[in-house]
Structure 1
Amino acid sequence: MDIFNFNPETVFSFWLTFFRVSLVVFLLPFFGGEAMPVPIKAALCIVLSLALWPHLSFDAQYFPEHPAQIAVMIMGELVLGLILGLIVHFLFAAIQTGGDLIAFQMGFKMMNVVDPLTGLQESITTQFLYMCSMLVFLSINGHLYMLMGLTQSFDLIPPGGLFITPELINQIIYYSSQIFVLAFKIASPIIATVFLVNLGLAFMARTAPQMNVLLLGFPIKIAVGLLFLSLVFQLISLYVSGFISDLGGTMYNLLRAAAGPS
C-alpha cells in the first residue's frame, strides 16, 4: 500500500513544468537580471511553477529516460529562454545604442558611469534612457506579455521539441537588424540639432577667428542636447508602447517557427 500516495507521473510532470519555467524566467529581462538576487529568482520560479502546473503542464511521457537525453532537453529549454529573451533585449539594446549616439553628439562620451545590472561602463545618457525605458516597459505591463509568451510555449513547444529552423533564424536576424534603425530614430532629433549647432559654430569661426569656438561649443551643444532630449522621452514611450503591443504576436511567431514543421 502506498501510504504517501506517491505518483511518479505527477512528479515528472511537475519537474518538466519547473524546468520550462525556471530556465525561461532566469533568462528573461527584469525577471532574470543580475540585480535580482538568486534566492528571489529561485523562489519566483517555484511559485510560478506551482501556479501554472495545475493549468499548464506537460505529460510525464515527455520526461527522458536517459541522463544524456535529460541534458539535451535542458539545453533545448535554455535555447528557448534565450530566444524569448533576445526579442526584449533587442529593444533595450536599441535604446542604449541611441543613448550612446546622443552622448557622442553632446560630448558626454568622456564621462561614463557603471551600470549596476551589467557592471559595464556606459555613458550617462545611455544609462538614463535605459532606466526610463525600463520604467515605461513595466508601467504598461510589458513583463506580463513576457509571461504570456512563456504560457504560449507550453502549447507550441513540448520539452525537447525545439527546432532551429531557417524561419526562426530569419526572424531573429530581422529583429536584430532593427536595433540600429530604432537607435537612429531615437537619436536623430539630437543628431540633427547638434549638427546645426556645429554648422553655426563653423560659420562663427570663419567670421570671428579670434573666438575660442571649441570652448564655446561644449556648453551650447550640451544645452541644446538637453533641450531636445525631452523630445526623445516621448519617442521612447511611443516606440516601447508599439513594441509591447506587437510583443504577443512576435513571441507567438517565434514559437511557431521554433516548433518546427507541424
Structure 2
Amino acid sequence: MVEVTFAQLQGWLVAFFWPFVRILAFFGASPLWGHSSVPRQVKIGLALLITVVIAPVLPPMPDIPMLSWASFGVMIEQLLIGIAIGLVMRVTFAAVQAAGEFIGMQMGLAFATFFDASSGTNSAILSRIFYMITLLMFLAMGGHLMVLEALIASFQGLPIGIGRFDPAAFELLVRYGGTIFVSGMSLALPLVGSLLIINLALGILNRSAPQLTVFNIGFPTSLTVGLILLMVLMTDISRFLARLFGNGLAFVHQLIESLAPLPPPT
C-alpha cells in the first residue's frame, strides 16, 4: 500500500502550484491563449502540461507552508508577473488594432462595426481584419514559441518568492502602452495622409463647384482609394510586424530584468 505523507504532499504542491499560477495568469492576459474562443479547460490543461515539463529545471522553491498568508502573497506575486508579461503582448497586438481604427475612420468605415466577444465591445471591421492578420503572422513567425521561452526564462530572472518588485518596472510597463499610438499611427500614417489629401481636394472641389455633391463622390472615392492603398500596404506589412514583434519580445526581457527587486540598502 502506497502511503503519502503530508510532507510529500507539501513538496509536490510547492513544486507545481506556484509555477502553474504564473503560467495560467500569462495565458489569461495574453492575446493568443487568452482569447474567449479558447476553452478554459484548454488553458488550464496547457498551463499544467508546461508546468510539469519545466518543474524539474526550476530554481528551488521557498520553504513556505501552502496554507499560510505567506503562500497567498507568493501566489499574488506570480499572478502579477504572469499578467505583466501577458499585457506586453496584448499591447503589441493592440497597436495593430489601433491602426485599423485610424484607417477605417478615414475611409468612412467608422459605422462598419460588430460586436467583438473577446473584448466585449464593438470593433471596427478593419481593426478585426488587421488583428487576424497579425495573429496569423505571429504564429507563422514562431512568436508564440519565443514568448513561451521568455516566460519560462522568467523563472530564472524572477525566481518564485522574491518578496518584492522594483516599482519602476510598473511605470515602465505603463509607458510601453504608448506603443499603441506610436506604432499604430506609424502603420496607418501612409493611408491616413493620402486619404486626408483626397478629402481636402474634395472639399476644395465642393467649394468651387457646389453642384457636385460630396456625399455622392467623396465616399466612393475614399473607399476605392483606401482599398487600393490597403493592397499596397499588405505587400510590406510583414516587415512592420516582424519589427513590432521583435520590440515586444525585447521589452518582455527588459521588463523581467526591471522587475527584479532592488538591492538592499547599505
Which of 48, 68, 85 aligns to 2:50? It is 48
CA shift for structure 1 position 162: 5.9
Partner of 1:21: 23
For 1:109-168, what per-residue CA distance to the aligned partner results, in whole angstroms no more than 9, with x for missing partners? 112112232232111111111111111111101111210121111101122326442431
**Deviating more after overlay: 12-21 vs 150-159:** 12-21
CA root-mean-square deviation: 2.1
Partner of 1:224: 225
Give the equivalent residue in structure 1 for 2:112.
111
SS in 2 for 1:114: strand
CA offsets, 1:205-261, max 9 Å, x none? Answer: 233211112221101000011111123334542222113334443222111111112
SS state at 1:113 partner = strand
Q: 1: CA distance between counterparts of 2:242 and 2:16?
A: 35
SS in 2 for 1:86: helix
Distance 1:238 1:163 in 2: 39
Structure 1 counterpart of 2:207: 206
> In 2, Cα distance between the equivalents of 1:149 and 1:218?
46
8 A contact 2:166–2:258 mirrored in 1: yes
| 2:76 corresponds to | 75
Residue in structure 1 matched with residue 194 of structure 2 by the alignment: 193
Match of 1:85 in 2: 86
Equivalent position amino acid for 1:48 in 2? I
SS of structure 2 residue aligned to 1:61:
coil
Matches within 5 A, 1:167-178: 167-178=168-179
Q: C-alpha distance in 2, partners of 1:24/1:198? A: 44
Query: Which segments of 5 or more consecutive residues in structure 1 lack a partner in the other structure?
Result: none
User: What 5-or-longer segments of structure 2 have no aligned partner?
Assistant: none
Distance 1:78 1:22 in 2: 8
Q: Report the AA paired with residue 145 of structure 1.
A: M
Length-normalised TM-score, structure 1: 0.90
Helix, strand or coil: the match of 2:53?
Answer: helix
SS for the counterpart of 2:123 is strand
1:258 aligned to 2:263?
A: no
| SS of residue matched to 1:53 | helix
2:114, 2:122 within 8 Å by CA — same for their partners in 1? Answer: yes
Percent identity between matched residues is 25
CA deviation after TM superposition for structure 1 residue 87, in Å: 1.1
Measure the CA separation in 2 of the matches of 1:34 and 1:244: 22
Q: Do the aligned partners of residues 149 and 207 (structure 1) sit closer, same or farther apart at CA in structure 2, a change above 3 Å counting?
A: same
Q: Is 2:112 the partner of 1:131?
A: no
Contact 1:84–1:251 (Cα < 8 Å) also in 2? yes
1:62 Cα offset (Å):
4.3
**Could you tell me whether the CA contact under 8 Å between 1:114 and 1:120 is conserved in 2?**
yes
Q: Taking structure 1 as reference, are residues 43 and 137 closer, same or farther at Cα in structure 2, changes over 3 Å only?
A: same
The one-letter amino acid paired with 2:113 is N
Q: Which residue of 2 aligns with 1:12?
A: 14
